[in-house]
Each structure stands twice: as structure tokens, then as C-alpha cells.
A = this chain, B = another copy of it.
Amino acid sequence: MPRTRYAVGVDFGGTTIKTGVVSSEGKIVAQSKVPTLGEQGPAAVVRQMQQSIAEVLEQAKKMKINGIGIGSPGIIDQKAGVVYDPPNISGWRRVDLRKEIGKRFRLHVEVENDANVAAIAEAKFGAGKRFPDFLFVIWGTGVGGGIILDGQIYRGPHGGAGEIGHVSIDYQGPLCNCGAKGCVEAYIGQRRLSQRAVERLRDHPGSRILSLVGGDTSKVEPVYISQAALEGDGLARELFTEAGTLLGVALGSVLNTLDLRVVIIGGGISAAGDFVYDAIKSSTQEHVMKPMRKDLKIIPAKLGNAAGILGAAGLVL
């Protein structure tokens, strides 16, 4: 058996920084979690990362460490190890994270965007272990993705691959933040899903969604719709079923392009229940080429919140 190796994984988010030491078998053997001091700017945030890494290295000081992997929001130059414009960190235009983190620890540093990191986590340690090729989808605030081909992340020639939230499902559809029309994210991202719930609540005054937000529709969010769906609320299930059906249209387009038959879906919204996966699956099935229908698999991600640390460590394991 090959010797167990270890690496540091940093899940750098706008609200928390989660750091861990991860074994090559996918076990987190040390960890730390701090709220991101986004308003204090990049230097403070980089210091927080350094301190967190020092802390987990101290906890795991008996282990030999392969390197440090960092999953980050924003636009990532993966080759250079540089992060541009992550949301919620004031004044962060461009930070060379590889340099800033590397100079303190003298370890190899890799930086990758958070959707790709989650895809890598599922490929190495989660629901994708059995599948050399799959599409990973993260469905939460927005809709993101990562493409695993032959066990490796496909980044594309400029590092931007996997933007499946911006697959259009209607050329006459609503305008998306990105400037295009009909992107699936503009239909099923957190904001639009909440809006649609509020609109439909007018005709469903008895919905459990309404009682969960104490009657205040300004508080409607997917987490409450999800809770209501779990409790069997009709409107909540309808909303997720519709959204899952729309997601399936975009998935069909992507699978036809890439000849993939496995989709692993994570993120907050996907957690509403098995019926969401059923809706996604039957819609995707209707949109893929015939030879692909039989083998199609739409399965939930396995790693939940740990995916960020695990996948980041996976970058250097």
C-alpha cells in the first residue's frame, strides 16, 4: 500500500476561512475555522490565512506536508496563483496568494476557484470516486460547475471552464447579471428562486413557507423553501421541481456537448430532497441524445461543507 501523504487545504470564503490538514485518503486530521475579516482588506485576510495554516500545521506537526492548496472565490489565475476581485473583501483587486502564502511556509502553493475545488474534492474523495468523467454542479446563490475528464479537472485554455450557470435555456429569456439572456442561473439562482416563491405565495396563503418566515415575505429564502419542502409543502415542492426541470435543460446541453453521463450536484439548494434530483434527472434525460439516456446518473455530492478543505488539499495531494 502506498504511504499516506498529507496536505493543507484552505477553503477561503467571503464569510469564513476554513483550513485543514488532509490525508491522501481524504481524512481531515486537523482543522481551524475563522470568520473572514473582509472589511479589513486583503493584507488582514492574508494574515488570517497564514495564521490558520500555521495553526493546523502545529496541530499536525508530526506529518510531512506535500503543499498548500487554496480554493478561492473571484477570478483565479491558476497558473500564476493569483486571485482577482473576490466578492466581500474590500480593496482586494489582485493578490498573489502563491507568493504571499508560499514565502511564509516554504511549501508548494496551488490556488483554484471554489467550484473547481469542490469538483476535485468529489472526484478524489466523494461521489465521483467511481467516475473518471463527470460534470459537477454547485447550486446555491448561483449555479457553478466543474468538469472532470479522465479524473482531472478540465480548466480550459484560459482557466474559465465550467460556467454552466451561464448556459442559456431561452434565447428570449430574462436578462442575467452576466449580460446575456436566459442563463439558467437567472431562473434558478437563489435570488430568482426566492422572488418566484414570493410571487406564488400570493395564491398560496396557506403555504408552510409563509409561516416559516413569520408571514414576512421579504425573508423568503431557499433555506425556508427547502425546509417547507421537507415538511411536504406543495408550493415549495413545486418551486424546486420546476427549478430542477430547468436545470435539466442546461445539463442536457452540456452533456450533449461533452458526452458525459454523470452529473454530481451539490450546494445549498440541491439539498431540498430526493424529489429535486428526480426532477433534474427526468428533465436531463429528455434533453440528452438517445444513446446517453439509459446510463444517465444524476447524483448528490457527498462531501457537503468539507468539500472546500478536501478539494483544496486535493490540489497538492
Question: What residues of chain A have their CB less than 8 Å away from a CB belonging to chain B?
Answer: 75, 132-133, 145, 147, 154-164, 166-172, 178-182, 246, 249-250, 252-254, 256-261, 286-292
Contact = CB atoms under 8 A, between A and B. Distances in A.
A172 B170 contact: yes
Given A171-B246, A287-B180, A260 B164 contact: no
18 contacts: A133-B156, A156-B258, A158-B291, A163-B289, A164-B256, A164-B257, A166-B252, A166-B289, A167-B167, A167-B257, A168-B249, A169-B170, A169-B171, A170-B171, A170-B172, A180-B286, A181-B249, A258-B258
A263 to B, nearest CB: 13
B259 A160 contact: yes
A283 to B, nearest CB: 9
Contacts of A182: 169-170, 249
Contact of A132 (B155, B157, B181): B157
A298 B107 CA distance: 43
Contacts of A167: 167, 253, 256-257
The 9 A-B residue pairs with the shortest CB-CB distance in the complex, in nearest-first order: A156-B259, A161-B259, A167-B253, A160-B259, A163-B256, A171-B249, A180-B287, A133-B157, A166-B256
